[in-house]
Amino acid sequence: MTLFISLFSCSKSVEDNCFINPKDKINNEYKEERPYSVAQILKHKPEYLEIVSLAKYRDFKKDSTESRQFFRSEEMGKAHKEEFKIFKEKFHDEFEFSSRQEVGSTTYALGSNRLGYWLLKIQDNKPSAYFLGLSFSHYYINKIQEQPIVKDGFLQLEGSLVKFIEVGGLPVYHDYSAIEDGKLFKINLKDVCRDSDNDGYNDIFEKSFGLNENNKDTDGDGVDDFNDLNPMFKSEKNKFVQLYEMLLPQYSGIENFKNLHYSFEVFSSDCDYFHQIDPSIRVLFLPEDKEKQSYYTRVTDVVNHGVSKLKRDHKAPDYYYIETWGSSYSTEYSAAFKDGKWILTNIGSIVI
């Protein structure tokens, strides 16, 4: 009996996960999360990260203002473009690049994208990217590194512990402020580069985003994680899956997302139909319940788009409502399923 109850309470049904129950209380209340203190950041820091306090350092203010000026100057912009040309080619413009360094025949650089910071490596003409798992909500890495970033078998990055501050106005945007300057973030290169299942994504990346670091093919669909556009869940064909596929963000000018191994659209959803999409962009899913997410995704804002649960029209069968949102818009659709096809009608948009 006990077993029955626990099974029952653990697995919510597709109905619960994908459809809005009119009896559900919808909680749209905006909760401002308090920034972490230094003590909290240190308490939760990744176990592979060593933080050293520096006596002499380039402080946060200097780095953030100077690097801003640096990238605005045309001449510097050109020089930067030239310096990182090989990285842009190999990584298809998937990152912002900084701090290039040669070690023997290997070339390193730092990369950052919407998911976070990466160590980039080009060796024998072959590019690899290793996720660092350092949340940009807590760790600021100096854009101008005055010391070599790879030394004595360690990745060594100067930076600060920071917090986000909200800047008012519409849209509300975030800025940083340093809460403790002058830090050296040290990670053993072995820990950075460890890829236990040898699928092309390092363990830190897989653990941070809920992939299986001990299995090349997390969802068992025969396509390894590195080449799977939806690596977490097996795709299925179903009318609701088809609807979710239609509502994915569209990108123009990108020829083939298959070559972009480090650019993901991250969604927070428990809906099986959403999970089962066969997308043309790379996707990852986070559990809606923050407690079930990895520490990294709990504290790092990596979700830029969303597609809501479905709402039935109780008067008309095969008629639904669904909402999509991005950082500056939300759109509500009515969706009617007729003769094997969805007819989507925009019934209201809000642009911020």
Query: Which residues form the interface with Ca ion (CB under 5 A)?
Result: 195, 197, 199, 201, 217, 219, 221, 223, 225, 228
CB burial class (10 A; 0-12, 13-18, 19+) of residue 86?
middle
Q: Between 216 and 309, whose beta carbon lies closer to Ca ion?
A: 216
Q: Between 179 and 232, whose beta carbon lies closer to Ca ion?
A: 232
Q: What are phi and psi of 321, to 5 degrees?
A: -125, 145
How many Cβ atoms from other residues are within 10 Å of residue 148's Cβ? 13
Give the whole-angstrom CA distance, residue 101 versus residue 212.
Answer: 31
Q: Between 111 and 159, whose beta carbon lies closer to Ca ion?
A: 111
Instruction: Find the residue with minimal CB distance to Ca ion.
Output: 228
Q: Between 200 and 306, whose beta carbon lies closer to Ca ion?
A: 200
CB 89 to Ca ion: min, Å = 24
Give the whole-angstrom CA distance, residue 117 versus residue 139.
Answer: 10
CB 132 to Ca ion: min, Å = 15
Give the whole-angstrom CA distance, residue 63 versus residue 240.
Answer: 49
CB 168 to Ca ion: min, Å = 42
CB 249 to Ca ion: min, Å = 22
Nearest Cα neighbor of 310 from 14, 18, 2 is 18
Query: What are the C-alpha distances in Å from 21 to residues 26, 39, 93, 266, 314?
Result: 10, 41, 43, 25, 11
Give the whole-angstrom CA distance, residue 103 versus residue 109.
Answer: 11
- Which two three-digit tokens encode residue 33? 């999360």
Residue spans of beta strands (DSSP E) within the chain: 49-53, 96-103, 106-113, 116-123, 126-131, 139-141, 150-151, 154-167, 173-188, 265-268, 283-286, 306-307, 311-312, 319-325, 329-338, 341-351
Residues ≥6 apart with Cβ < 8 Å to 206: 212, 213, 218, 225
| 111 φψ region: left (φ > 0), alpha (ψ -120 to 50), beta (else) | beta
CB 211 to Ca ion: min, Å = 5
CB 200 to Ca ion: min, Å = 7
Q: Between 195 and 270, whose beta carbon lies closer to Ca ion?
A: 195
Q: Between 199 and 323, whose beta carbon lies closer to Ca ion?
A: 199
CB 261 to Ca ion: min, Å = 12
CB 155 to Ca ion: min, Å = 18
Q: Between 138 and 261, whose beta carbon lies closer to Ca ion?
A: 261
Beta-sheet pairing, 265-268 with 283-286: parallel
Q: Between 184 and 189, whose beta carbon lies closer to Ca ion?
A: 189
